[in-house]
Amino acid sequence: MCGRYTLMKLADLLKLIPWLQVPAEVLERQSRFNVAPSQVLPIVVESHGQTVLRDAKWGFVASWTKEKPRTQPINARSETVGQSGLFRRAFAERRCLVPADGFYEWKGAKPPKQPYLIRLRDHGLFAFAGLWERWYPPAGEPTDTFTILTTAPNELMKGIHDRMPVIVPPDGYRRWLTGEPPQDLLKPYPAELMEAVPVSPRVSSPKFDDPGCIEPISAP
Protein backbone atom coordinates (compact mmCIF):
# COMPACT_ATOMS: atom_id res chain seq x y z
CA MET A 1 0.00 0.00 0.00
CA CYS A 2 0.99 3.65 0.10
CA GLY A 3 0.00 5.53 3.24
CA ARG A 4 2.61 8.31 3.39
CA TYR A 5 4.71 10.13 0.81
CA THR A 6 6.94 13.15 0.29
CA LEU A 7 6.56 16.10 -2.06
CA MET A 8 9.59 18.36 -1.79
CA LYS A 9 10.23 19.28 -5.42
CA LEU A 10 6.87 20.28 -6.90
CA ALA A 11 8.63 23.02 -8.89
CA ASP A 12 10.28 20.26 -10.97
CA LEU A 13 6.88 19.19 -12.29
CA LEU A 14 7.25 21.26 -15.46
CA LYS A 15 10.38 19.28 -16.29
CA LEU A 16 8.31 16.09 -16.27
CA ILE A 17 5.17 17.60 -17.85
CA PRO A 18 6.24 20.65 -19.93
CA TRP A 19 2.72 20.99 -21.38
CA LEU A 20 1.19 21.42 -17.91
CA GLN A 21 -1.02 24.51 -17.55
CA VAL A 22 -0.20 25.98 -14.14
CA PRO A 23 0.87 29.40 -12.79
CA ALA A 24 4.54 29.33 -11.81
CA GLU A 25 3.82 30.57 -8.29
CA VAL A 26 1.66 27.52 -7.60
CA LEU A 27 4.73 25.32 -7.96
CA GLU A 28 6.57 27.19 -5.19
CA ARG A 29 4.64 25.59 -2.38
CA GLN A 30 6.24 24.55 0.86
CA SER A 31 8.05 21.22 0.82
CA ARG A 32 6.17 18.29 2.36
CA PHE A 33 8.17 15.59 4.15
CA ASN A 34 5.33 13.47 5.52
CA VAL A 35 2.14 13.69 3.49
CA ALA A 36 -0.74 11.83 5.14
CA PRO A 37 -4.26 10.67 4.18
CA SER A 38 -7.14 13.18 4.43
CA GLN A 39 -4.80 16.06 3.55
CA VAL A 40 -5.36 18.27 0.49
CA LEU A 41 -2.64 17.78 -2.13
CA PRO A 42 -1.91 18.61 -5.77
CA ILE A 43 -2.86 16.18 -8.53
CA VAL A 44 -2.51 16.42 -12.31
CA VAL A 45 -5.66 15.87 -14.38
CA GLU A 46 -6.88 16.25 -17.95
CA SER A 47 -9.62 18.89 -18.17
CA HIS A 48 -11.24 20.23 -21.35
CA GLY A 49 -8.26 19.23 -23.47
CA GLN A 50 -5.67 20.71 -21.11
CA THR A 51 -3.39 19.16 -18.51
CA VAL A 52 -3.84 21.08 -15.27
CA LEU A 53 -2.86 20.95 -11.60
CA ARG A 54 -5.61 21.00 -8.99
CA ASP A 55 -5.97 20.29 -5.29
CA ALA A 56 -7.77 17.21 -3.99
CA LYS A 57 -8.24 15.40 -0.70
CA TRP A 58 -6.39 12.11 -0.32
CA GLY A 59 -9.14 9.56 0.29
CA PHE A 60 -11.53 8.55 -2.50
CA VAL A 61 -15.24 9.35 -2.29
CA ALA A 62 -17.50 8.41 -5.22
CA SER A 63 -19.59 11.22 -6.71
CA TRP A 64 -22.86 9.39 -6.02
CA THR A 65 -22.18 9.04 -2.27
CA LYS A 66 -25.03 10.68 -0.34
CA GLU A 67 -23.72 10.70 3.22
CA LYS A 68 -20.18 11.03 4.52
CA PRO A 69 -18.68 7.56 3.94
CA ARG A 70 -17.23 5.50 6.75
CA THR A 71 -14.18 4.66 4.64
CA GLN A 72 -12.37 6.77 2.07
CA PRO A 73 -9.85 4.48 0.34
CA ILE A 74 -6.39 5.95 -0.06
CA ASN A 75 -5.31 3.06 -2.31
CA ALA A 76 -6.90 0.96 -5.05
CA ARG A 77 -5.59 -2.37 -6.38
CA SER A 78 -4.58 -1.96 -10.02
CA GLU A 79 -5.41 -5.60 -10.79
CA THR A 80 -9.12 -5.16 -10.03
CA VAL A 81 -9.77 -1.43 -10.32
CA GLY A 82 -11.42 -1.76 -13.74
CA GLN A 83 -14.05 -4.12 -12.36
CA SER A 84 -14.63 -2.42 -9.01
CA GLY A 85 -18.04 -0.86 -8.50
CA LEU A 86 -16.39 1.95 -6.54
CA PHE A 87 -13.55 2.74 -8.92
CA ARG A 88 -14.68 1.50 -12.36
CA ARG A 89 -16.05 4.80 -13.64
CA ALA A 90 -13.12 6.86 -12.39
CA PHE A 91 -10.73 4.35 -13.95
CA ALA A 92 -12.38 4.90 -17.32
CA GLU A 93 -12.93 8.65 -17.11
CA ARG A 94 -11.02 10.34 -14.27
CA ARG A 95 -7.42 9.27 -13.99
CA CYS A 96 -4.80 11.50 -12.41
CA LEU A 97 -1.10 11.71 -11.69
CA VAL A 98 -0.03 12.28 -8.10
CA PRO A 99 3.33 14.10 -7.89
CA ALA A 100 5.77 12.74 -5.30
CA ASP A 101 9.48 12.28 -4.76
CA GLY A 102 9.38 9.46 -2.23
CA PHE A 103 7.06 7.25 -0.20
CA TYR A 104 7.27 5.46 3.14
CA GLU A 105 6.68 1.85 3.97
CA TRP A 106 7.05 -0.05 7.24
CA LYS A 107 8.91 -3.35 7.58
CA GLY A 108 8.27 -5.92 10.27
CA ALA A 109 5.74 -8.51 11.36
CA LYS A 110 4.78 -6.62 14.52
CA PRO A 111 5.41 -3.23 16.17
CA PRO A 112 7.67 -1.44 16.39
CA LYS A 113 8.03 -1.63 12.62
CA GLN A 114 10.94 0.06 10.87
CA PRO A 115 9.95 2.76 8.36
CA TYR A 116 11.79 3.10 5.07
CA LEU A 117 11.85 5.98 2.62
CA ILE A 118 11.63 4.62 -0.92
CA ARG A 119 12.66 6.96 -3.72
CA LEU A 120 14.37 7.10 -7.10
CA ARG A 121 18.14 6.78 -7.01
CA ASP A 122 18.47 10.28 -8.48
CA HIS A 123 16.05 11.62 -5.79
CA GLY A 124 13.97 13.16 -8.56
CA LEU A 125 10.26 13.89 -8.80
CA PHE A 126 7.94 11.19 -10.17
CA ALA A 127 4.20 10.52 -10.35
CA PHE A 128 1.91 7.83 -8.95
CA ALA A 129 -1.04 6.56 -10.98
CA GLY A 130 -4.20 7.82 -9.33
CA LEU A 131 -7.95 8.16 -9.76
CA TRP A 132 -9.97 11.18 -8.77
CA GLU A 133 -13.62 11.96 -8.21
CA ARG A 134 -15.70 15.03 -7.35
CA TRP A 135 -17.96 14.41 -4.37
CA TYR A 136 -21.07 16.49 -3.71
CA PRO A 137 -21.72 16.29 0.06
CA PRO A 138 -25.21 16.89 1.48
CA ALA A 139 -24.00 20.24 2.81
CA GLY A 140 -21.04 22.31 1.72
CA GLU A 141 -19.01 22.75 -1.43
CA PRO A 142 -18.05 19.96 -3.86
CA THR A 143 -14.83 18.20 -2.87
CA ASP A 144 -12.28 16.62 -5.22
CA THR A 145 -10.82 13.41 -3.82
CA PHE A 146 -8.24 10.90 -5.03
CA THR A 147 -6.72 7.49 -4.46
CA ILE A 148 -3.35 5.98 -5.44
CA LEU A 149 -3.13 2.71 -7.36
CA THR A 150 -0.96 -0.11 -6.05
CA THR A 151 0.60 -3.18 -7.65
CA ALA A 152 2.82 -6.15 -6.79
CA PRO A 153 6.21 -5.29 -5.27
CA ASN A 154 9.41 -5.12 -7.28
CA GLU A 155 12.58 -6.86 -6.06
CA LEU A 156 13.50 -3.91 -3.84
CA MET A 157 10.08 -3.77 -2.18
CA LYS A 158 9.62 -7.51 -1.68
CA GLY A 159 11.75 -7.42 1.44
CA ILE A 160 9.71 -4.57 2.91
CA HIS A 161 6.07 -4.96 1.88
CA ASP A 162 3.84 -7.06 -0.38
CA ARG A 163 2.49 -4.05 -2.31
CA MET A 164 3.87 -0.85 -3.80
CA PRO A 165 2.33 2.20 -5.49
CA VAL A 166 2.16 2.30 -9.28
CA ILE A 167 4.73 4.79 -10.58
CA VAL A 168 3.99 5.93 -14.13
CA PRO A 169 7.02 6.48 -16.40
CA PRO A 170 7.07 9.96 -17.98
CA ASP A 171 6.49 8.58 -21.47
CA GLY A 172 3.19 7.13 -20.20
CA TYR A 173 1.75 10.32 -18.66
CA ARG A 174 -0.39 11.40 -21.62
CA ARG A 175 -1.72 7.90 -22.17
CA TRP A 176 -2.63 7.44 -18.53
CA LEU A 177 -4.40 10.80 -18.29
CA THR A 178 -6.35 10.49 -21.53
CA GLY A 179 -7.89 7.12 -20.72
CA GLU A 180 -6.08 4.92 -23.24
CA PRO A 181 -5.51 1.24 -22.39
CA PRO A 182 -2.97 1.32 -19.54
CA GLN A 183 -2.22 -2.34 -18.83
CA ASP A 184 1.51 -2.04 -19.50
CA LEU A 185 1.71 0.95 -17.14
CA LEU A 186 0.19 -0.83 -14.13
CA LYS A 187 3.27 -2.79 -13.15
CA PRO A 188 6.10 -2.55 -10.62
CA TYR A 189 8.62 0.22 -11.31
CA PRO A 190 12.14 -1.06 -12.12
CA ALA A 191 13.87 -1.88 -8.84
CA GLU A 192 17.30 -0.90 -10.17
CA LEU A 193 16.12 2.72 -10.46
CA MET A 194 15.03 2.91 -6.82
CA GLU A 195 16.50 2.81 -3.33
CA ALA A 196 15.13 2.18 0.18
CA VAL A 197 16.55 4.08 3.15
CA PRO A 198 15.71 3.39 6.82
CA VAL A 199 14.42 6.52 8.56
CA SER A 200 13.19 7.61 11.97
CA PRO A 201 9.95 6.12 13.39
CA ARG A 202 8.72 9.70 13.84
CA VAL A 203 7.26 9.54 10.32
CA SER A 204 4.59 7.25 11.76
CA SER A 205 2.93 10.36 13.22
CA PRO A 206 1.48 12.90 10.75
CA LYS A 207 2.27 15.70 13.22
CA PHE A 208 5.89 15.47 12.09
CA ASP A 209 6.44 17.08 8.69
CA ASP A 210 10.02 18.34 8.57
CA PRO A 211 13.42 17.41 7.06
CA GLY A 212 14.11 15.08 9.99
CA CYS A 213 11.56 12.66 8.53
CA ILE A 214 13.80 11.84 5.57
CA GLU A 215 17.15 11.70 7.39
CA PRO A 216 18.69 8.22 7.05
CA ILE A 217 19.43 6.26 10.20
CA SER A 218 21.60 3.21 10.78
CA ALA A 219 20.08 0.11 9.29
CA PRO A 220 18.32 -2.01 11.96
Active site residues: 2, 105
Give 57's strand partners. 40, 145
Instruction: Work out the number of other CB atoms within 10 angstroms of the CB of residue 207.
Output: 7
Write the single-letter amino acid at 191. Answer: A
